[in-house]
């Protein structure tokens, strides 16, 4: 039993160390991500499990020998670190920076006005169940590509009315090769639907069967479908925003920055594929410039062999063309860029650089929110941090829609979202 206590205690300590100081080396990035992802975003559940494991093994004599005593000490330190993670997560508020200037209000008021259901925070699987007041239509076909039927799910307010509501497209991540519409974006889609939005969680072709830019073309097919069918689900065909995480964040940014590009709309070049705003989460924005890694993302085997299926050294321009940072434009729609400071898969420096470059180019608002202590894919779980972020995104998008309804030609950062600070420097 003493060796069991030793193993549990050391594991708890290692999880805490990784959560607070994640590894950025290429060899450890993926295991560091998964360990940190669970330890940070499910910290309350982890603390209960650690306390139960350490308490039971100690009670049954695990601390009688030196391995058990070492494990007990390590476990207590690990539990303290997990508790600190919980405290930091509960204090999470959202950094909202536009034109380089932080904008703040009292964070205590933000927490008190939270309307995210506590049950979803305590039992994360509940996020898979639509919230009360939300109606879901599943597996609606929006396009056929050969024999493949591309489908979507619709999240809409349960109450019906004659007034058309704003729409949002959610794009799942998964490194362009895995993922599904039922797995990601659910806390945000449910929250938006409760507040009067109609969300469309969209599937698209995946690599290696699909070759870039097939993924982007599919999403533009959805926009064409949306303009024809949005009203059937109570959405406004003239108002669509886009969001997504990781590879979905990359695709959301590409959708927003390539409106009207004929090469991405073969056969439907005349369709207006512009969107009103983009909210990419922990996205990949630059396939060419190295970040913390010794080689850029485009030079990885994933991108060369499975996604673009081109040589990075022989056709670098193709990777520039596939990077959102290569499509910056003055008429870009408003952006709300969200990233975690502890992201081990897409280093936060890339998001900061993209936000800064976009601000220097775009005439629209560019808001950057950096979640201190947040890992990659933090919003998959309906954690305290996720609750704060989805509330801020809803205020941002609702403010833009209000300006649209009032006929404002050039959007500004809505006052309702100037919440508080929880991030690092931009630049």
Which of the residues are catalytic?
Answer: 246, 343, 376
Question: Taking a C-beta distance cutoff of 8 angstroms, is the pair 76, 14 a contact?
Answer: no
The side-by-side arrangement of strands in the sheet containing 134-145 is 101-102, 97-98, 366-371, 335-340, 278-281, 235-245, 165-171, 198-202, 148-157, 134-145
Tell me the two tokens of residue 247.
């590879």
The pairing of beta strand 165-171 with beta strand 198-202: parallel
Tell me the two tokens of residue 326.
């290569």
The set of residues, in sequence order, having a beta carbon less than 8 Å from that of 317 and lying 6+ positions away, is none
For residues 228 and 223, give the distance between their C-alpha atoms in angstroms, rounded to a whole number.
Answer: 9
For residues 212 and 225, give the distance between their C-alpha atoms in angstroms, rounded to a whole number.
Answer: 21
Closest CA to 258 of 243, 275, 241, 246: 275
What φ, ψ does residue 34 adopt, rounded to 5°? Answer: -60, -40
Counts of helices then strands in the chain (DSSP H, E) = 13, 10
The pairing of beta strand 148-157 with beta strand 198-202: antiparallel
The pairing of beta strand 97-98 with beta strand 101-102: antiparallel
């Amino acid at each position: 039993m003493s060796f069991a206590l030793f193993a549990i205690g050391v594991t708890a300590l290692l999880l805490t160390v990784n959560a607070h100081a994640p590894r950025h080396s290429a060899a450890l990035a993926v295991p560091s991500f998964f360990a940190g992802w669970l330890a940070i975003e499910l910290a309350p559940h982890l603390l209960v499990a650690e306390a139960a494991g350490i308490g039971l093994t100690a009670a049954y004599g695990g601390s009688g020998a030196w391995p058990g005593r070492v494990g007990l000490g390590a476990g207590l330190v690990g539990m303290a670190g997990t508790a600190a993670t919980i405290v930091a997560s509960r204090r999470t508020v959202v950094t909202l920076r536009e034109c380089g200037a932080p904008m703040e209000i009292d964070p205590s008021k933000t927490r008190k006005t939270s309307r995210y259901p506590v049950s979803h925070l305590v039992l994360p699987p509940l996020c898979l169940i639509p919230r009360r007041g939300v109606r879901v239509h599943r597996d609606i076909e929006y396009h056929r590509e050969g024999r493949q039927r591309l489908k979507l799910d619709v999240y809409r307010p349960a109450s019906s009315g004659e007034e058309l509501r704003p729409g949002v497209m959610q794009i799942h991540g998964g490194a362009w090769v895995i993922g599904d519409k039922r797995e990601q974006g659910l806390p945000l889609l449910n929250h938006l639907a409760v507040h009067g939005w109609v969300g469309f969680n969209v599937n698209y072709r995946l690599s290696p069967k699909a070759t870039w830019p097939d993924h982007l073309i599919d999403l533009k097919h959805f926009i064409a479908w949306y303009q024809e069918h949005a009203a059937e689900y109570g959405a406004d065909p003239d108002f669509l925003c886009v969001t997504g995480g990781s590879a979905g964040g990359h695709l959301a940014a590409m959708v927003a920055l390539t409106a009207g590009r004929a090469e991405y709309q073969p056969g439907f070049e005349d369709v207006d594929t512009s969107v009103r705003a983009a909210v990419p989460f922990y996205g990949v924005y630059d396939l060419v410039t190295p970040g913390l890694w010794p080689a850029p993302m485009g030079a990885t085997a994933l991108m060369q062999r499975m996604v673009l299926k081109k040589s990075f050294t022989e056709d670098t321009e193709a990777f520039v063309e596939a990077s959102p940072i290569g499509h910056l434009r003055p008429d870009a729609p408003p952006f709300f860029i969200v990233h975690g400071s502890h992201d081990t898969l897409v280093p936060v420096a890339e998001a900061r650089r993209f936000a800064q470059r976009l601000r220097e180019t775009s005439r629209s608002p560019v808001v950057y929110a950096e979640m201190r202590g947040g890992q990659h894919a933090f919003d998959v779980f309906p954690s305290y941090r996720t609750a704060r972020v989805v509330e801020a995104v809803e205020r941002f998008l609702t403010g833009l829609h209000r300006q649209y309804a009032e006929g404002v030609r050039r959007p500004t950062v809505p006052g309702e979202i100037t919440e508080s600070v929880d991030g690092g420097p931009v630049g």
